[in-house]
């Protein structure tokens, strides 16, 4: 049985869209007719799963952080009640307000009815469920602690979504200010400056160096501005494609870590993610080595991933986790200290949660500070640019007054 997206006309002539389960497209159309609907289009979820290229995914259903957290929470709560997974997914699909949630739930259910596991079913939607998410669910299935894993995973997704929303909210004002500055400067250079400076050119008077530079910049912006923007867009897309490859991605991530403030911020964020995922795994009775492997997948910075692989090898050889992490130059010293305390006291999961909360709090404070500094800097930069343009226009007028 598979999930089919449909568009149909109701008895009142209104167009309706939705998802229906059937063994074939023909049966799906028959079910729609039985519901007194006239099918217009019926297609499988796979046909809309999107184009998948290395590092690029186009189309396919997507869930926001809030929807993903709610989906995970419902999945954990209903599975804890003893319902079979196919019934759990059916219930989620029926009560879902979002069409995407409905399609995802039925798509996963179709895989489960084929005999696949929940983690394998989620592989149909990699744009929604990343590799570390699926690995966590798979570990919960293997240890028979799936409801507990899903509940903790839902809390992790909720915390991450909350942080992302705070960041987006804090970026609204700097973003609007930056866009306004670009539009104002572009308008001045492309339209206002040429009209004003034309007067001085007609007088055949030698212009100051600053004014001549402004005229050249204005002409360049007017003649090549669009080409420059297209070239910049193409360069960014090329860079995005390039960093999907292993070696360039490693070099790019190493460069990011070398940036003074940004590097520490990224390390704190990645450390918080690693500690949180490791706490979820160990709290769900997953073996230490498996838990470390899954937690390492949640890290996105390639240099840190390589260091964590070395940590896993040392733990496999008998070293303690705290001692292995302490050898890594990329892991903040606080995390091995907390893990060492947890290993000594038997409260490793609690100490990992404490470490994750500490690093998340640190990231939030640093972001708030940086964004607070960014706003006045943008205002000063915009004022300096506009002031330079005004001075370049006024300099010839001052020289004309001196000649008179």
**Residue ranges of domains in the chain:** 2-45, 65-159, 174-404
**Nearest Cα to Cα of residue 379 among 180, 219, 236:** 180
**pLDDT digits 0-9 by tens, 282-336:** 887 788 888 898 888 888 888 988 888 999 999 998 888 889 888 888 888 889 9
Residue of 199, 192, 190 whose CA lies nearest to 217: 190
Residue 225, pLDDT > 50, answer yes
**Does the domain spanning 174-404 belong to CATH 1.20.81.30?**
yes
At residue 53 the predicted structure's pLDDT band, cuts being 50, 70 and 90, is very low
pLDDT at residue 61, rounded to an integer: 67
Query: In which band, very low, low, confident or very high, does the pLDDT at 50 lie, cut at 50, 70 and 90?
Result: very low
Are the C-beta atoms of residues 242 and 56 closer than 8 Å to each other? no
Helix (H, G, I), strand (E, B) or coil at 132: helix
Query: What mean pLDDT is reported for the chain?
Result: 81
Nearest to 38 by CA among 20, 21, 13: 13
Instruction: Please state at what angle helix 131-143 crosses helix 146-187, rounded to 10 degrees.
Output: 170
Identify the three-state secondary structure at position 70.
Answer: helix
What is the number of residues in the chain?
404
Q: Fold match between 65-159 and 174-404?
A: yes
Contact 395, 211 (CB under 8 A): yes
Phi-psi region of 204 (alpha: psi -120 to 50; beta: other; left: phi over 0): left
Structure tokens at 22: 């059937």
For residue 86, the cross-strand partners are none
Kindly report the backbone phi and psi dihedral angles of residue 84, in degrees, each rounded to the nearest multiple of 5, phi listed first: -65, 155
**Overall CATH class of domain 65-159:** mainly alpha
SS (H, E, C) 269-322: HHHHHHHHHHHHHHHCCCCHHHHHHHHHHCCCCHHHHHHHHHHHHHHHCCCCHH
| C-alpha torsion sign, points 285, 291, 297, 303 | positive
Lowest mean pLDDT among 169-173, 351-355, 358-362: 169-173
Q: Could you tell me the pTM of the whole model?
A: 0.70
3-state secondary structure at position 206: coil
């Amino acid at each position: 049985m598979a999930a089919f997206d449909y568009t149909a006309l109701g008895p009142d002539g209104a167009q309706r869209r939705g998802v229906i389960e059937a063994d074939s497209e023909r049966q799906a159309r028959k079910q729609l007719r039985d519901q007194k609907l006239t099918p217009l289009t019926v297609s499988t979820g796979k046909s809309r799963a999107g184009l998948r290229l290395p590092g690029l995914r186009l189309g396919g259903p997507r869930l926001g952080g809030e929807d993903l957290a709610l989906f995970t929470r419902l999945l954990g709560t209903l599975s804890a009640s003893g319902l079979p997974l196919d019934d759990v997914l059916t219930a989620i699909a029926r009560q879902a307000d979002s069409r995407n949630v409905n399609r995802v739930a039925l798509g996963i259910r179709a895989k489960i009815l084929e005999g696949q596991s929940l983690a394998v079913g989620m592989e149909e939607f990699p744009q929604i469920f990343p590799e570390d998410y699926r690995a966590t669910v798979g570990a919960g299935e293997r240890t028979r602690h799936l409801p507990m894993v899903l509940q903790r995973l839902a809390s992790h997704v909720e915390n991450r979504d909350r942080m992302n929303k705070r960041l987006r909210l804090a970026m609204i004002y700097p973003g609007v200010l930056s866009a306004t500055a670009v539009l104002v400067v572009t308008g001045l250079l492309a339209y206002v400056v040429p009209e004003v400076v034309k007067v001085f050119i007609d007088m055949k008077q030698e212009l100051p160096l600053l004014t001549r530079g402004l005229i050249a910049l204005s002409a360049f912006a007017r003649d090549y501005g669009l080409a420059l923007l297209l070239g910049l867009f193409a360069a960014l897309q090329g860079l995005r494609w390039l960093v999907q490859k292993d070696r360039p991605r490693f070099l790019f991530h190493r460069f990011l870590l070398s940036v003074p403030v940004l590097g520490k911020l990224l390390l704190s964020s990645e450390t918080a993610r690693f500690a949180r995922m490791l706490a979820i795994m160990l709290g769900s009775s997953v073996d230490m080595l498996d838990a470390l492997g899954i937690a390492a997948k949640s890290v996105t910075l390639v240099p840190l991933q390589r260091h964590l692989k070395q940590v896993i090898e040392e733990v496999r050889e008998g070293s303690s986790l705290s001692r292995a992490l302490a050898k890594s130059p990329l892991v903040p010293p606080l995390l091995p200290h907390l893990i060492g305390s947890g290993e000594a006291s038997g409260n490793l999961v609690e100490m990992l949660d404490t470490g994750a909360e500490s690093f998340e709090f640190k990231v939030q404070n640093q972001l708030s500070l940086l964004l607070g500094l960014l706003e006045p800097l943008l205002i000063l930069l915009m004022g300096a640019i506009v002031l330079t343009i005004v001075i370049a226009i006024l300099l010839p007028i001052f020289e004309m007054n001196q000649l008179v």
